[in-house]
Amino acid sequence: MKRKAFLLLLLATSFALGFVQENVKVNINFILDQGDRMTGFFDQTAEVKKQWLNQQKIFSPLDYYYSHSTLDVFLSVSKVWLVRLKWINTVVFTALFLVLNGAVIQLITRDVKMVRHLVLAYAVSFAAAFALYAIGIATGYALELYAVSRKLIGALQSMVPLMIFIPAWYLYTHFQNTNSR
């Protein structure tokens, strides 16, 4: 019973963390994107930045990017630090989801090898995303390959790896048991 309760707590934490991560990411990206379109934006005070950004927002319940609530803490951060925070955000949330996915996999499968495979999959996927991004910069296809890289990292910052590993584990153990008969 304690195991099931802990599993539910981990899943609820992952769900909540996904919302926090999305809110932070959207806020940083919105400030960077809209700030780049406005001359002198990053030289303004936090209050002026907030006013200018509010003018860019559109009430559209279906478009979270333009209708989200602003996290004011990011308005007092320089453009250089916002870009750094994007990278920090990427690494921190990827690591947090690795830990959460690993803990859930360990609870469900009780197989340390599955957690090792998960860590390896994260490392390979993260390296591939970084390599795609670097290749994009080197070849002049930065926007196109950044989009692919971002999707790959986005998957790592979610429960998608769990949704792949648990069925894979089930199929593997099921076929192992069937073949050993």
**Tens digits of per-residue pLDDT, 54-85?**
888 777 666 666 667 889 999 999 999 999 99
Confidence of residue 1 (pLDDT cuts 50, 70, 90): confident
What is the per-residue pLDDT for 159? 96
What is the per-residue pLDDT for 66? 65
What is the per-residue pLDDT for 56? 82
Say what the pTM is: 0.88
User: What DSSP letter does each residue of 60-109 carry, written as one string?
Assistant: -TT-HHHHPPP-GGGGGS-HHHHHHHHHHHHHHHHHHHHHHHHHHHHHHH
d(CA 123, CA 1) in angstroms, rounded, equals 33
Residue 101 has pLDDT above 90, yes or no: yes
What amino acid is encoded at 59 in this protein? Answer: F
Burial 80-91 (b: 16+ CB within 10 A, else e): eebeebeeebbe
Domains in the chain, number: 1
| Residue 56: strand, helix, or coil | helix
Domain of residue 167 covers 2-179
Q: Which of 155, 119, 149, 113 is nearest to 133 (CA)?
A: 149
d(CA 118, CA 162) in angstroms, rounded, equals 9
Q: Which of 32, 42, 40 is nearest to 87 (CA)?
A: 32
Q: Which of 65, 73, 68 is nearest to 49 (CA)?
A: 73
Convert the pLDDT of each residue in 127-155 to its tens digit: 999 999 999 999 999 999 999 999 999 99
